[in-house]
Chains A and B, each alone.
Chain A
Amino acid sequence: MESIILGIVQGSATLLDPAILALIIGGTIFGILIGALPGLTSTMGVALLVPVTFAMSATQGLALLGAIYCSSTYAGAISAILINIPGTPANCCTILDGYPMTKNGEASRAIALATVASAIGGMASTVALLFLAPPLAELALRFGSQEYFLLALFGVSVIASLSNGNMLKGFIAGILGLFLSSIGMHPITGDLRFTMGIPELYNGLPLVVALIGLYSVPEVIATLRDPGACAVGGVAEVRGVFGQMLEVFKYKVVMLRASVIGTVVGIVPGAGSSIASFIAYDDAKKNSKRPGDFGLGSAEGLIASETANNAVVGGSLVPTLTLGIPGNSVSAVLLGGLLVHGLKPGPALFADDSGTVYGFIMSLFVANLVFVPVGLLVARFGVKFIKMPATILGPLVLGLAVIGSYAINASLAEVWIMVAIGFLGFLLKEFGMPREPLVLGLVLGSMAEGELSRSLALVRNGVPELLASFVSRPLSLVILALTLLSVFKGALSQRKRK
């Protein structure tokens, strides 16, 4: 407990740096624009700005990326409420009551409630991150190579088994991600594998470049295929929102329940913001005195959805920071950002880089406060920008993807790699393959291979003895059981859906 309080003080002190505050504000503005623009996702926003953080200190870079994550998750509500198009998948549930409120002439009220509820959900989950992450990190100190290898497989299997309606495709995508991460030099022997003679692949597939390709190119194609999706008619005026913000405190219980749901769902790898908001929405409806209002413009429904999706932010970072297992695709990209700055997520992170980690967590807290006024201003004045047509947006996003992937190592070969991965992402999307398991596989692959090699080096009789050690070590056994349970549950729920 003492170390947590010390960390909070240390982290708060780093926020006194005016550059960090400026980056949080800049990141919030960028994140709100990314989130509010239909077709651009939080993952894409964070991935595109990772190269920009190279010139910054780790705390500054992470504060920028964290601010984008928090604000873009919230900002999808602006377009969901005003133009009936969720800005990001996290805000799908928000349109159920947000847009009906706009049609009822309550656009300003809906924006005010969604903004404050999002901020409260985000801050509640940041508090949870502060107090849950260190104990989990202490537990993780007992992990050996076997546990880490199984943990990587667990992360991929959970996210694959949660793939919408198609677990088999989820597993194929996850394994493909793990396979792609094995391209390049073997971590111990140094042998080259699957590099096709391309020197840029000797050190493995560049993670950030791959993520940029995977999340920008397919989205641009999807937006260009359906440009009419953004071409909506008139937009309601947003005025007097500041005066309506306090109303949200009438719904304290709804926000509390949604915060808990969002945080817990966020901790589970792969569950994601949209699932959290639908669960919280359903929970609010079941416990409401006026369930009949849901879907017709219920403030409770809107608040539950928006609180929960922002509460996922802090939750998803708990396993990311303590175990190196990202809770969702945005935190997977953030994990890439941590690695780029030389930070190794895992139990030692809180001891070795406590100033940076606590600074990052406290910056999330500040970002949740900053997006309230910025979001309200964007909703008031930036509506025309939100309606930016795909015909302008598409080329700009592709331009950003090219410069982003070039800037990392000043290499045009990496831009070609980005395009190739973008093509892969397009094919996956085209054939209904989820991209999230692939991303998780890409991120966790090198850890899985390294730990597998180390585990094999520790046993004398090769694979049979390794398999036996999975069962004989209590922590390994627990992780193995959880992996099998997640696969079994995924298969069961898929069968039920059929």
Chain B
Amino acid sequence: MTNTSIRRELAFSGSMLALSIALSIKAFTYPAESAQFPRFLTVLQVLFSAGLLVRSIVGRRGEPPRDEPGRRPSLIAPLAVFSSLGLYIVCIQYLGYFVSTALFLAISMIYLGRHRPLVVFGATAAFILVVYSLFVLFIGVRLPRGMLF
């Protein structure tokens, strides 16, 4: 294991343990009759998370860490995905579903490196057409309307 992966494993198991303890405390605030199952689960989760933490620490001691840098996965893609999804959903409330979707798809594709207008426009238009026929015409879902339509 590299230093990076050991640190990641320790951070993960530590966070899981902290989360499990917090949930366990919360589970014990509910009436006993309604909380038997969550209590049972959160206590189990505390035990398993503690086991994972102990294993990470023991593994760290048992195996000399290598200094070679572990390839840390880039955070750009997840950040881009979650921030664009957040903005997209907020936009739906103000601009309506179709305008927001067209903007989301077109901007995402351009940001990701698709610069040919025909490809971007074609894919966006095809998607909106499919959603309109399937969800609005076929299922009858009322999609959010915005300031425009």
Question: Which residues of A line the B interface, CB within 8 A?
Answer: 51-52, 54-55, 168-169, 171-172, 175-176, 178-179, 182, 186, 188-189, 191, 193-194, 217, 220-221, 224-225, 227, 389-392, 394-396, 398-399, 402-403, 406-407, 410, 412, 415-416, 419, 422-423, 426, 430-431, 448-449, 452-453, 456
B119: interface (CB < 8 Å): yes
Q: How far is the CA of A175 from the CA of B40 in the complex (A)?
A: 10
A391 touches B114 (CB 8 A): yes
B66: interface (CB < 8 Å): no
Q: How far is the CA of A402 from the CA of B81 in the complex (A)?
A: 12
B127 touches A399 (CB 8 A): yes
Q: In the complex, what residues of A have CB within 8 A of residue B108's CB?
A: 394-395, 398
B89 touches A396 (CB 8 A): no
A225 touches B37 (CB 8 A): no
Measured CB to CB, the closest approach of chain B to A206, in angstroms, equals 15
Q: How far is the CA of A188 from the CA of B73 in the complex (A)?
A: 45
A55 touches B36 (CB 8 A): no
Q: Provide a sorted-by-A list of 5 A–B residue pairs whose CB atoms are within 8 angstroms.
A: A221-B81, A394-B108, A395-B109, A398-B81, A403-B143
B127 touches A179 (CB 8 A): no
Look across to chain B and name the residue whose beta carbon is closest to the beta carbon of A418. B85
Q: In the complex, what residues of A have CB within 8 A of residue B105's CB?
A: 395-396, 399
Look across to chain A and name the residue whose beta carbon is closest to the beta carbon of B45. A175
Measured CB to CB, the closest approach of chain A to B110, in angstroms, equals 9
Q: How far is the CA of A126 from the CA of B135 in the complex (A)?
A: 31
Measured CB to CB, the closest approach of chain B to A497, in angstroms, equals 15
Q: How far is the CA of A431 from the CA of B51 in the complex (A)?
A: 16
Measured CB to CB, the closest approach of chain A to B138, in angstroms, equals 6
Look across to chain A and name the residue whose beta carbon is closest to the beta carbon of B119. A392
Q: In the complex, what residues of B have CB within 8 A of residue A221's CB?
A: 77-78, 81
Q: How far is the CA of A176 from the CA of B46 in the complex (A)?
A: 11
Q: Which of B77, B119, B134 contacts A225 (CB 8 A)?
A: B77
A168 touches B38 (CB 8 A): no
A407 touches B141 (CB 8 A): yes
With contact pairs A395-B108, A431-B12 given, residues A225 and B89 touching in the complex (Cβ less than 8 Å): no
With contact pairs A175-B45, A179-B38, A193-B35 given, residues A217 and B81 touching in the complex (Cβ less than 8 Å): yes
Interface residues of B in 83-124 (CB under 8 A from A): 84-86, 88-89, 92-93, 97, 101, 104-105, 108-109, 112-114, 119, 123
Q: In the complex, what residues of A have CB within 8 A of residue B139's CB?
A: 51-52, 54-55, 407
B112 touches A391 (CB 8 A): yes
Q: In the complex, what residues of B have CB within 8 A of residue A175's CB?
A: 41, 44-45, 48
B45 touches A172 (CB 8 A): yes
B21: interface (CB < 8 Å): no
Q: In the complex, what residues of A have CB within 8 A of residue B119's CB?
A: 392
A172 touches B16 (CB 8 A): yes
Measured CB to CB, the closest approach of chain B to A434, in angstroms, equals 14
Q: How far is the CA of A452 from the CA of B34 in the complex (A)?
A: 11
Q: In the complex, what residues of B have CB within 8 A of residue A55's CB?
A: 138-140
With contact pairs A191-B31, A399-B101, A403-B135 given, residues A412 and B114 touching in the complex (Cβ less than 8 Å): no
Q: How far is the CA of A52 from the CA of B134 in the complex (A)?
A: 7
Q: In the complex, what residues of B have CB within 8 A of residue A217's CB?
A: 81, 85
B38 touches A182 (CB 8 A): yes
Q: In the complex, what residues of B have CB within 8 A of residue A194's CB?
A: 23, 26, 38
Instruction: Apart from A52-B134, A392-B123, A410-B142, list 18 A-B contacts with CB within 8 A.
Output: A55-B139, A55-B140, A168-B51, A172-B16, A172-B52, A178-B37, A191-B30, A193-B38, A194-B26, A220-B81, A224-B77, A224-B81, A225-B73, A225-B74, A225-B77, A406-B97, A407-B139, A412-B93
Q: How far is the CA of A402 from the CA of B74 in the complex (A)?
A: 24
B8: interface (CB < 8 Å): yes
Proximity bits, B126-147, A CB within 8 Å = 1, else 0: 0100010011001111111000
Measured CB to CB, the closest approach of chain A to B49, in angstroms, equals 6
With contact pairs A55-B138, A178-B41, A396-B123 given, residues A391 and B85 touching in the complex (Cβ less than 8 Å): no
B33 touches A189 (CB 8 A): yes
B34 touches A189 (CB 8 A): yes
Measured CB to CB, the closest approach of chain A to B78, in angstroms, equals 5
Q: In the complex, what residues of A have CB within 8 A of residue B34's CB?
A: 186, 189, 191, 193
Q: How far is the CA of A182 from the CA of B23 in the complex (A)?
A: 12
Measured CB to CB, the closest approach of chain B to A241, in angstroms, equals 28
Measured CB to CB, the closest approach of chain B to A11, in angstroms, equals 25
Look across to chain B and name the residue whose beta carbon is closest to the beta carbon of A416. B89
Q: In the complex, what residues of A have CB within 8 A of residue B149's CB?
A: none
Q: In the complex, what residues of A have CB within 8 A of residue B9's CB?
A: 431
Q: How far is the CA of A340 from the CA of B119 in the complex (A)?
A: 37
A179 touches B45 (CB 8 A): yes
Q: Which of A52, A392, A412, A419 contacts B92 (CB 8 A)?
A: A412
Q: In the complex, what residues of B have CB within 8 A of residue A419's CB?
A: 82, 85-86, 89
Look across to chain B and name the residue whose beta carbon is closest to the beta carbon of A55. B139
Q: In the complex, what residues of B have CB within 8 A of residue A422's CB?
A: 82, 85
Q: In the complex, what residues of B have CB within 8 A of residue A186's CB?
A: 33-34
Q: In the complex, what residues of B have CB within 8 A of residue A182's CB?
A: 37-38, 41
Q: Which of B36, B97, B109 contacts A452 (CB 8 A)?
A: B36
Q: In the complex, what residues of A have CB within 8 A of residue B104's CB?
A: 395, 398-399
